[in-house]
Amino acid sequence: MKERDTIELKTLESHRGFLVYIARTYPMINPYLKGIHLTLDSWRPWRKEDGWKMSMQEIRVALAEKGLGDDTVLGCGERAPQKVKWVPRLVEDVRALSALFHLENPPKRIVQLTRMATAIYAFGDASGVGFGSSISIDGQVYYSGGQWTQEQGSESSNYRELANLIFALEEAHRDHVLGHAELFVFTDNSTAESAFFKGTSSSSKLFELILQLRQLEMQGSMIIHFIHIAGKRMIAQGTDGLSRGSSLEGIMQGKAFMSFVPLHLSAEERQGHFLTEWVVRCWFGATKDYTWLTPEGWFYSGHHERRCVWCPPTCSS
């Protein structure tokens, strides 16, 4: 292990402790602490070059290569060294933290909002070369669509779909229509939703996009939620059509924007008696000793009855 590849363990532990306190105010930085965690534990046994723990199968293979049995215990009781080898991810995480906190004064994190915006986005996964986005703010719909440049069009579909969301949000922010807002971003791309939720990605380009989005969230005084929806819903809503150059579908026909994302409805209200019958039949069988709670009973009856079914909506109306 070369000297330039190491870092003082106690110094890094001190930095981590400070950042953990900062994360209580800015929870969006949590994913970018992973490189520090992995580096601090990189000296422990059964760690890979990237700092992550080896799986049991990988440990067995490593033991077999050394001619040792599965019952061998190595490294137990070792004391932590003064210096540890930093893992590759630490570099990217430190760069991300520097980008998030490059402002001279710490940005204010919005906890209670003064307004609300609802955003729905899609991109050109239907045409392959196009993109589209739509956003509803205070009852007004903003939309855009077009085609990727040759360079952008050569990127992966996951990159293009996530990039389209971010470009649309950044444009709306530049137009001063997203400040102090809570955004619900709907996408039919599970990779985009997963990358935002985790705050990182194994793809360097997706990592950069997520970092852009986190910067926008911090510096734009916003709270952003990503929600995955079915592709058929995206098509019906009309944004999918925008990616193909069509402006005559869904909301573009005048249909209500929020009718395509009924977050205020419970599963029971959306599925009707089919859900009720399935729950009763599969969960309770022949017994009738249960209570299907209404909102009025969530905080009262639900804490006294023996068997209860809560069925709240995704968001309150």
pLDDT band of 125, cuts 50, 70, 90: very low
Per-residue pLDDT averaged across 132-141, rounded? 81
Burial of 168 (0-12, 13-18, 19+ CB in 10 A): buried
pLDDT at residue 126 greater than cutoff 50: no
Would the CA dihedral through 190, 216, 27, 112 be positive or negative?
negative
Would the CA dihedral through 224, 226, 231, 232 be positive or negative?
negative
Per-residue pLDDT averaged across 10-25, rounded? 93
Q: Which residue has the higher pLDDT, 158 or 119?
A: 158
What is the C-alpha separation between 260 and 119, in angstroms, rounded? 12
Q: Which residue has the higher pLDDT, 317 or 17?
A: 17
Per-residue pLDDT averaged across 15-36, rounded? 90
pLDDT at residue 77 greater than cutoff 70: no
* Residue range 144-183, pLDDT digits in tens: 888 888 887 788 888 888 888 888 888 888 887 777 778 8
Please, are residues 257 and 251 in contact by the beta-carbon 8 Å criterion? yes
Give residue 73's pLDDT. Answer: 58
* Tokens matching residue 270: 């959306």
State which H helix or E strand residue 234 sits in: helix 231-237
What is the C-alpha separation between 58 and 245, in angstroms, rounded? 50
pLDDT at residue 307 greater than cutoff 70: yes
Question: Over the chain, what is the mean pLDDT?
Answer: 80
Percent of the chain scored above 70 by pLDDT? 88
Distances (CA, A) of 250 to 121, 126, 264: 13, 15, 20
> What region, left, alpha or beta, does residue 230 occupy, with left being phi > 0 and alpha being psi -120 to 50 degrees?
beta
Please, are residues 161 and 207 in contact by the beta-carbon 8 Å criterion? no
Give residue 15's pLDDT. Answer: 94
Q: Any idea which fold 118-260 has?
A: Nucleotidyltransferase; domain 5 (3.30.420)
Residue type, 28: M
Per-residue pLDDT averaged across 67-75, rounded? 62
Q: Which residue has the higher pLDDT, 165 or 121?
A: 165
The model's pTM: 0.68
Query: Any bridge partners for residue 118, and if so which?
Result: 136
Residue type, 64: A
* Tokens matching residue 233: 């819903």
Residue type, 38: L
What is the C-alpha separation between 266 and 193, in angstroms, rounded? 22
Q: Which residue has the higher pLDDT, 189 or 117?
A: 189
- DSSP helix/strand/coil, 308: strand
Give residue 36's pLDDT. Answer: 92
Q: Degrees (nearest 5) of the Cα angle 243, 245, 247?
A: 100
pLDDT at residue 317 greater than cutoff 60: no
* Tokens matching residue 159: 């990159």
* Residue range 242-294, pLDDT digits in tens: 887 778 888 888 888 888 888 888 888 888 788 888 887 888 776 677 788 88
* CATH 3.30.420.10 in the chain, residue ranges: 118-260
pLDDT at residue 76 greater than cutoff 60: no
Would the CA dihedral through 269, 272, 273, 275 be positive or negative?
negative
